[in-house]
């Protein structure tokens, strides 16, 4: 068991953290503008990756519906658990615990780990999960984050400007209608999509390099238990209930096992929902997930 765990970590998890680590070191040595890179990924890389995967996916409508339901269910379960865990906290910190518990890193980490562990088929499924998760983050996530202070109407209006939302709708629509995309356009999208995953990992390292943690953030362990413990267990139960098996089951459980996403910090900062607490959750859960994700991969294997 131990040697299998080490082998899985070295072959699947470690490469992801090495790339993120390179971004971390580079950010420490040079004056990198992580915000600009983040905008490139947000507006070009992620939408291209989501569109390509959804446009080329070969899965049934039933499986797609199962993904939609399961991602939503995991999101609600973990968000509710985070809200309950923050019952003794002020309103902004309670909102912070909620989004840190619900918003998982299905892009920066979930996609490359799914690719290394499950191959191209796993990457396609993981991208579907990521697309749904991104959609929820930019709607429900915005709603929860804004509950700390900002007007909800304005926050939801901003969510409609998210490029991934339109890439998801367009990719699924063209896939289901079998509408061909002109070769020059598709090749351009394909190039951007191919660069998205490594750029995401570098950005993760850059963002972790400026993430604070202090004693005031010790409550972060509550969301850590939810994000890395409750979430994958909920996915296991839901897969069992829905009768999901094979690669679909592996991807759903693996993606539900991801740590808190950096985008949760962006939301917390934008809507004044205790951003330092959320940033601490990102840092700690990402480091601890090196072990927990390896364990999940061994159990799935």
Query: Which CATH number characterizes residue 116's domain?
Result: 1.20.1530.20
Check residue 158 and give its pLDDT.
59
pLDDT value, residue 259: 94
Identify the residue with better confidence: 143 or 14: 14
Please check whether residue 59 is in contact with residue 125, taking contact to mean a CB–CB distance below 8 angstroms: yes
CA pair distance 113, 12, nearest whole angstrom: 6
Average pLDDT of the residues in 238-248: 91
Please determine, for residue 2, whether its predicted confidence score (pLDDT) is greater than 80. no
Instruction: Look at residue 176 and tell me if it is in a domain.
Output: yes
- For the cut 80, the answer to whether the pLDDT of residue 179 exceeds it is yes
CA 294 to chain centre: 17
Which whole number is the average pLDDT over 168-191?
Answer: 91
> 263-270 vs 275-300: helix axis angle to the nearest 10?
160
Determine the pLDDT at residue 121: 85
Considering the domain boundaries, does residue 21 fall inside one? no
Please check whether residue 13 lies inside any domain of the structure.
no
28 is written with which tokens? 């420490």
Q: Is residue 27 part of a domain?
A: no
**Spatial distance between the Cα atoms of 261 and 282, rounded to a whole number of angstroms:** 6
Q: Examine residue 153 and state whether it is found in any structural domain, yes or no.
A: yes
- What is the domain extent for residue 157? 34-300
> Is pLDDT above 70 for 44?
yes
Q: How confident is the model at residue 151 (pLDDT cuts 50, 70, 90)?
A: low
pLDDT digit string (tens) for 184-212? Answer: 999 999 999 888 888 878 887 887 787 76
Q: Quickly state the pLDDT bin for 214 (edges 50, 70, 90).
A: low
36 pLDDT band, cuts 50/70/90, is confident
Average the pLDDT over each of 88-102, 144-158, 166-180, 281-295 and give the range with the smallest value: 144-158
Identify the band that residue 128 occupies on the pLDDT scale cut at 50, 70 and 90.
Answer: confident
For 99-125, what is each residue's pLDDT tens digit? 999 999 998 789 889 988 998 888 888
* 169 falls within a domain: yes
Share of the chain above pLDDT 90, in %: 30
The pLDDT of residue 176: 87
Q: What is the pLDDT of residues 53-96, one digit of tens each?
A: 888 888 788 888 888 899 999 999 999 999 999 888 888 888 88
Number of structural domains the chain divides into: 1
**175 found inside a domain:** yes
Residue 6 lies in a domain: no
**For residues 263 and 103, which has the higher predicted lDDT (pLDDT)?**
103
Q: Residue 149 pLDDT more than 60?
A: no
Task: Give the dihedral sign, CA 181/182/183/189.
Answer: negative
């Amino acid at each position: 068991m131990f040697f299998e765990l080490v082998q899985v970590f070295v072959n699947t998890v470690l490469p992801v953290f090495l790339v993120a680590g390179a971004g971390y070191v580079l950010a420490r040595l040079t004056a990198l503008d992580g915000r600009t890179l983040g905008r490139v990924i947000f507006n070009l890389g992620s939408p291209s990756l989501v569109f390509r995967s959804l446009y080329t996916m070969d899965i049934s409508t039933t499986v797609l519906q199962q993904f939609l339901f399961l991602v939503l269910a995991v999101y609600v379960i973990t968000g509710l658990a985070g809200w309950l865990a923050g019952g003794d906290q002020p309103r902004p910190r309670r909102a912070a615990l909620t989004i840190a518990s619900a918003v998982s890193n299905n892009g920066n980490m979930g996609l490359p780990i799914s690719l290394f562990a499950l191959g191209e088929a796993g990457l396609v499924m993981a991208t579907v999960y990521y697309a749904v998760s991104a959609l929820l983050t930019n709607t429900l996530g915005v709603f929860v984050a804004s509950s700390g202070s900002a007007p909800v109407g304005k926050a939801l209006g901003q969510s409609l400007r998210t490029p991934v939302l339109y890439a998801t709708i367009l990719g699924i629509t063209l896939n289901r209608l079998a509408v061909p995309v002109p070769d020059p356009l598709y090749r351009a999208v394909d190039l951007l999509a191919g660069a998205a995953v490594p750029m995401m990992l570098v950005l993760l390292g850059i963002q972790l390099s400026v993430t604070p943690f202090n004693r005031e953030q010790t409550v972060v362990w509550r969301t850590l238990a939810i994000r890395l413990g409750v979430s994958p267990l909920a996915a296991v139960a839901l897969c069992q209930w829905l009768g999901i098996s094979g690669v679909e089951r592996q991807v759903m459980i693996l993606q539900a096992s991801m740590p808190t996403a950096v985008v949760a910090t962006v939301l917390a900062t934008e809507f004044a929902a205790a951003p330092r607490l959320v940033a601490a959750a990102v840092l700690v859960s990402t480091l601890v997930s090196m072990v927990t994700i390896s364990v999940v991969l061994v159990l799935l294997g």
